[in-house]
Every structure is written in structure tokens, then in C-alpha cells.
Amino acid sequence: MKIWLSAFRLRTLPLSLSCIGMGGFLAAAQDKFNGLIFFLCCATTVFLQILSNLSNDYGDTVNGADHADRKGPQRAVQSGAISASQMKIAILIFVVLCLISGILLLYTSFGFELKSFLFFLGLGFLSIIAAIAYTVGKKPYGYIGLGDLSVLIFFGLVGVMGSQYLFTKSFFVIQILPALSCGFFSIAVLNINNIRDIESDRSAGKFSIPVRIGKERATTYHWVLLFGGMASALIFVVINFHSPWQLLFLLTAPLMFLNGRKVSALPSEELDPLLKQMALSTLLFVLLFGIGNLL
């Protein structure tokens, strides 16, 4: 069980829950929060995140990105703690869990309203495909540098605006701004991971953005992501200002600055703890942003 929990990479779960939390807070601001919908959103998102982590463990080992010289923690399939066939079974199990949880979520939200149900079911299938195809298959999109775009779409736009729509059955263009905040901060977590793995990814033919542009430019890109996330939230507050409490999220600015400074200063092999720090900082940002908008 300890080996499987390690393979689940539980430290990534706060990040996946951040976009759902943001969607929930946006719904609560419209007095349309629903506890059961929120629970099912969280469950579905957790299953998707674990599915993605298991698929990455399997795919990166099969494709050679995870090997003995990799600077990050050992993966389960790479180390032999879990066989490739066992991992494929686990991936299938979590696909089924995603579908069960997702269908229950859609039924709870839409009932027999078929048009919306089918549209979001399609988004669910795309999310499952994106979680697996990032590193699995003959041409995984993570190996050609499209991981950042996928994270922006699924951890930002779809995760935030999609989840709030499940509560409210409505959509406002301005909600793109807090969705972008979650998306940019989520990309920052991926960027730290990719900076850490530049050498092993390059040798395996995995051309992430840091591999393509180099560590120095990747750290500049990291600062852009951090600034973009805070700026998007600030613009949203300025447009919708009704209370100074809405600026509560700015308390996380020192954490973001600390993360950016360490990414710029530390060697690649020392970046791993910053993944957890960035994920938790993002969750705290969402909590403060949401609470500030409700006060």
C-alpha cells in the first residue's frame, strides 16, 4: 500500500483541488453552492489526478524519461516496485472510477437535461484522454512541449469555469480571469518539474518547454507565470470591487516570490521540494481569494 500511495503522488492533489475550490467559491458568490456537487467534483478530480500520475509513471518509464540518472524521486515502474502490467491494470481501474464519479456528478447537476449532460460527458472523456496521453502512447503530447497548454486548459479554464457551471448553469466571461490564475500557477508547478528534469528529458527525447528554451529562460518563464496568475486575480478584483477583503489573496504574494526566487537560484537537483510548496501556495491562494470575495 505504501508503494501505491507513493505512486499516487498525493502531494499533487492540493493542486488538482484548487481549480475545483475556485469554481466552488465562484458559485458560492452567486448563492448557488451545492455540497454534493462539490464533493463529487472533488472526487472526480482526485481520480483524474491519480490517473494522470499513474499514467506518467508508466509512460515516462516506457519511453525512457525515467531512468537511473533522473534527478527527481524514483518512480514505481522505473524502480521495479510495481510492474508495468500491474500499473496498466491500475490505470484501467482509475479510468472506471473517473467515469463512475463523473457520471454521478453530471446526473446530480443536470438530471435528465441531455444536452448539457452529453457536453460535459464529452469534456470528461477528453480529460481522461489528456491524463493518459500526456506520456503514454507512440506520440505523447507531453514529449513535444504541449503539456503547459493542456494544464492551462484542464487545470484552469475547464477546471474552474466547468465546475462553477455545474453549480450555477451559467457562465460569465470575466470568470476567465480567476481560471487563468489557477491555470498559470498549475503550469508553474509543471515548469518546476520540467526544469528539474531537463537533462533526463533531453536524453529521452522529451522536449518540454524548459528543454526547448534552456534553464535560464525557463526561470524567466516561471516568473511570467507567477506574475500572470497574481495579475489575473487582481484585474478580476478591480473590475468587481466591492470590499477591501477581496485583496486578501495578496497575502500569498510573498510565497509566490519566494518560489520564483528559489527556482532562479537553486540547482536543478534541489528543486523538488518547491513542487509541493507551489502546489500548497496555489491552494492557499484559492482559499484566500474565495473567502475574500465572499466577505
pLDDT the model gives residue 80: 82
Q: What is the pLDDT of residues 62-81, one digit of tens each?
A: 876 555 555 556 678 887 88
Closest by Cα among 261, 264, 254, 260 to 284: 254
Q: What is the pLDDT of residues 27-46, one digit of tens each?
A: 999 999 999 999 999 999 99
Tally of domains within the chain: 1
Helix (H) or strand (E) holding 251: none
Mean pLDDT across the chain: 93
Q: Which three cell numbers stand for residue 244?
A: 477591501
181-185, 192-196, 200-204, 213-217: range with lowest mean pLDDT: 200-204
Ramachandran class of 139: left when φ > 0, alpha when ψ lies in -120 to 50, beta otherwise: beta
> Cβ atoms within 10 A of the Cβ of 139, count?
7
pLDDT the model gives residue 61: 81
Ramachandran class of 155: left when φ > 0, alpha when ψ lies in -120 to 50, beta otherwise: alpha
Arithmetic mean of pLDDT, 85-102: 96
Identify the domain containing residue 160 by its residue range: 2-294
pLDDT tops 60 at residue 188: yes
pLDDT tops 60 at residue 85: yes
